[in-house]
Amino acid sequence: MWRSRPGLSMCHVPESDLQPHTLIVYVNHAVGTALVHRLIGEGVVAVGSVDGAVQALHGPSRYEAVIACPYLAGDELETVLDACRARRPRPAVVQLTDIEGDRPGMNWLPGAQLSDRALERIVRALA
């Protein structure tokens, strides 16, 4: 059953469906769109602004990974990290870095709890 979720740009799929569940947090629409294109075939992908993502993280949906746009300001990133730290189990957080070329750089932030299978799928899609 599909239903819209406030603050998110995509539909919610019940947790029993595809894995992994990834939330993309963006401030730059082009980066958000590019990340969706890379991850769209790798499980359930939701995308939202900082406020929408924080709302989603406080909700009942499961997210195994949160991908942070490289253009999040320091306070925006901290807001997202606080919401991630409050979740149980805590999702992995991948902070993308802006580097030259067509591939993003990645930093895994501390406290990540992610299955090996989910991690492999996400890293492969982002690489």
Q: Which amino acid is present at 99? A: I
pLDDT at 103: 59
Expressed as residue numbers, the domain containing 66 is 3-126
Distance CA 45, CA 17 (A): 12
Given pLDDT bands bounded at 50, 70 and 90, which one contains residue 120?
A: confident
Count of alpha carbons within 13 Å of 35, Cβ hemisphere only? 30
Distance CA 76, CA 49 (A): 10
Render pLDDT for 7-64 as a digit per residue (tens, 0 to 9). 555 555 454 444 788 999 999 999 999 999 999 888 889 999 999 999 999 999 888 8
Cis, bond preceding 20 (omega within 30 deg of 0): yes
pLDDT at 16: 42
Distance CA 36, CA 75 (A): 24
Domain holding 108: CATH number? 3.40.50.2300
Answer whether 125's CB lies under 8 Å from 38's CB. Answer: yes
Given pLDDT bands bounded at 50, 70 and 90, which one contains residue 112?
A: low
pLDDT at 114: 66
Residue 41, token pair as written in the block: 């075939």
As for how many domains the chain has, the answer is 1
Render pLDDT for 81-109 as a digit per residue (tens, 0 to 9). 999 999 888 888 888 887 766 655 788 77
Give the pTM: 0.78
Distance CA 60, CA 67 (A): 18
